[in-house]
Structure 1
Amino acid sequence: MFYISILLQLLLSAAVASWLVSYYPRSICAFERSSVDFSCMFDYSDYRILKTTYWFKPEAHQKQDGSQVGISAYNSEAAKIHQLYKNRTAYANRDKNCSLQLHNVSKSDTGMYFFRFETYSSRGKYTGPGGINLSVAVLPFRVTVKTKKVNEHIHEGDSVTLTCSTENCTPTQEPFAWFKNQRLIPEATDSVLQITSVSHDDFGNYSCGLKNSSTTSADEILLDVRYSPKNVKIAVLSSGKIQEGNSLTLICKSNANPAVTNYSWFMIKEANVSYIGSDREFSIKSASQKDGGQYFCIAKNDMGSQNSTVTPLKVEDGLLNLTRRKLNVICLHLYRRKLFTSKKQPAEQTPAVTVTEEIYENLRKSPESEENLTTYVTYVDLRLPSSTSDRPHCNSQDVIYSLLSYKD
């Protein structure tokens, strides 16, 4: 009798062991309106005859461990399929393959799913334990930023983690795409973007999405990296060459976060460094020779400071430039006069006239105005390009003594 009892227990254990359901994967995250696959295999005693197969989801008020049968997502008896799942499922319908496809997933599909089969025996029913947990990701994507610091600003050198996620869960079966200022970051294809040591170049707006989809996060997020002033330089605002009497403005430019709060201006002249201003712009209303020298500025914020490169500033003599302009007018007048003379007397041979002689001729003072004029002598090295035309030629080594007369 004892041996018979042991034999019955072994037979019962073997029978129970043959009843099984295996699921893969045990957890799924899917986007709304996508399709999911519940992979499943099952087994039962060979002497049993299969009657019904179905997938069910426990209702909200029921236990979620499969011990209570909920609504049917699929049933081999089609009339028993719940209205929410009508025409949305496809069963494998192969021997001991219980895989199920669920189409057009919605947020209401979130929950646990179990496979159950029944035979014609009153005790031949079995539900696969564990089940599959379905989570539905609700778009749009969103970017979150995490650092080791709590409630503090991000500084250069900090480690930063950017995570691309959606509500409820984030599918990871497809490659991701990251964007900075709406430009793709080619090397970033995971849902997490790790920056081990941020720099000022990482400052910008970030968004994410799936690589093979145009769907991106609804809102960009600013990675607000704080850094000291960079690329400090001086911009000179002036109309043409800087000449005596003209106005000019020097601007101290830089990149910084937060914005520069303090500027300092310095001038270097004859090895002496002088502090000259504290605004972003340094203006000179009327330039003079004493303003010539080397200039640099210092930009400073809460993170630090940086000097600009030295910018040389040369102020040209106004009288010299005036003399040059007058000589240009004289040469142009002589050239036009010579052309006019040559056209008027084409056949007449005239002796060659040197440029110096012609200038003296045109600058000769008239007797009636001589007493009202003050004469200045200016020595100018007049350089003109060579030419094969009839234009008077001025040798670059000739020194022309011109009499420039001004009324008192």
Structure 2
Amino acid sequence: MVLRTAGGHFSLLVFLWSVAVVQSQNVWSVTYTTQSICTLKGSTVEMSCSYTYPSGTVTSTFWFTKKFDVENYVNLINDRNYKGRVKDRSDKTNGHTLRITDLRESDSAEYKFRFITDQTGGKYSGYPGVTLSVTDLQVKVTTTWWSTTLTCSTTCTLTGNPTYTWYRNSKIVQGASSPSYTFYFKTEDSFYCAVKGISSPAVCECD
């Protein structure tokens, strides 16, 4: 009796393990490295993903933001709004990376990855995709009777803990993680900030 009970338990465990393996082999999925990116106008961004599928051979892969009909997807490489600014590279482990250069605020969108296999019905798109927000640098000025504080701001929180650099008449006066710079006397100097080499307009030319 003891032997039969032990044998029964062993068979049950094997059965459950087998089900788990079958389920994992039949998964269609796209996994993105990150699902939200905020970056600056004029900069470069990379979005990465990996994908799985049950069987067959992948015949086509592409990124898209636009879909006009059930099967009418616009491959980003063929989108005239991205002409010359997009590269898509793959690796041997079902990974893909989309690179967009010279970003524009109009590039703000949700980017999805789609792949097609040679199997009947073997098509899949990864939803939700990567939400990209492209913002410009703006400078806010706060003045009191003894000081002026300049704050380099954006419409979304920049990804990656950027370093802000402040310039006074084209010379660096502060390079740190803080987006703010304070000076204490009236001046006719010009000030501007930069993140990753991208500058804001001159913001203060005081009398």
Q: Name the TM-score, length of structure 2 as normaliser.
A: 0.67
Asked if 1 retains the 8 angstrom alpha-carbon contact of 2:46 and 2:98, the reply is yes
Pairing 1:328-343 to 2, within 5 Å after superposition: none
Confirm or deny that 1:175 pairs with 2:163: yes
Asked if 1 retains the 8 angstrom alpha-carbon contact of 2:110 and 2:129, the reply is yes
Unaligned runs of 5+ in 2: 1-15
Quick one: which amino acid aligns to residue 93 of structure 1?
A: S
In the other structure, the counterpart of 1:401 is: none
In the other structure, the counterpart of 1:154 is: 144
SS at match of 2:24: helix
Asked if 1 retains the 8 angstrom alpha-carbon contact of 2:43 and 2:198, the reply is no
Q: Give the direction of change, closer, same or farther, for the CA distance of 1:180–1:89 in structure 2 (3 Å limit).
A: closer
* Residue deviations 1:126-152 (CA, integer Å, cap 9, x gap): 2223311122223xx322246xxxxxx
Inter-partner Cα distance in structure 2 for 1:182 and 1:9: 66
In the other structure, the counterpart of 2:63 is: 55
Confirm or deny that 1:72 pairs with 2:75: yes
Quick one: which amino acid aligns to residue 32 of structure 1?
A: K
SS at match of 2:76: strand
* Residue deviations 1:87-141 (CA, integer Å, cap 9, x gap): 4322213221111112332232220101111212223222223311122223xx3
Confirm or deny that 1:120 pairs with 2:136: no
Q: Give the direction of change, closer, same or farther, for the CA distance of 1:30–1:68 in structure 2 (3 Å limit).
A: farther
CA positional deviation for 1:72: 1.7
Inter-partner Cα distance in structure 2 for 1:69 and 1:162: 48
Quick one: which amino acid aligns to residue 176 of structure 1?
A: Y
In the other structure, the counterpart of 1:165 is: 153
Unaligned runs of 5+ in 1: 1-5, 75-80, 147-152, 196-200, 223-408
SS at match of 1:14: helix
Confirm or deny that 1:44 pairs with 2:53: yes
SS at match of 2:176: coil
Inter-partner Cα distance in structure 1 for 2:140 and 2:184: 15
Confirm or deny that 1:192 pairs with 2:179: yes
Confirm or deny that 1:202 pairs with 2:200: no
In the other structure, the counterpart of 2:23 is: 13
Pairing 1:5-404 to 2, within 5 Å after superposition: 13-17=23-27, 19-45=28-54, 47-58=55-66, 70-74=73-77, 81-95=78-92, 96-138=94-136, 141-145=137-141, 154=144, 162-166=150-154, 168-169=155-156, 171=158, 174-179=162-167, 184-186=172-174, 188-190=175-177, 192-193=179-180, 202-204=184-186, 207-210=191-194, 213=197, 215-220=199-204
C-alpha RMSD of matched pairs (Å): 4.0
Inter-partner Cα distance in structure 2 for 1:8 and 1:28: 39
Quick one: which amino acid aligns to residue 55 of structure 1?
A: W
Asked if 2 retains the 8 angstrom alpha-carbon contact of 1:143 and 1:207, the reply is no
Aligned residues: 188
Q: Give the direction of change, closer, same or farther, for the CA distance of 1:145–1:86 in structure 2 (3 Å limit).
A: closer
Q: Give the direction of change, closer, same or farther, for the CA distance of 1:12–1:134 in structure 2 (3 Å limit).
A: same
Asked if 2 retains the 8 angstrom alpha-carbon contact of 1:180 and 1:204, the reply is no
CA positional deviation for 1:181: 7.3
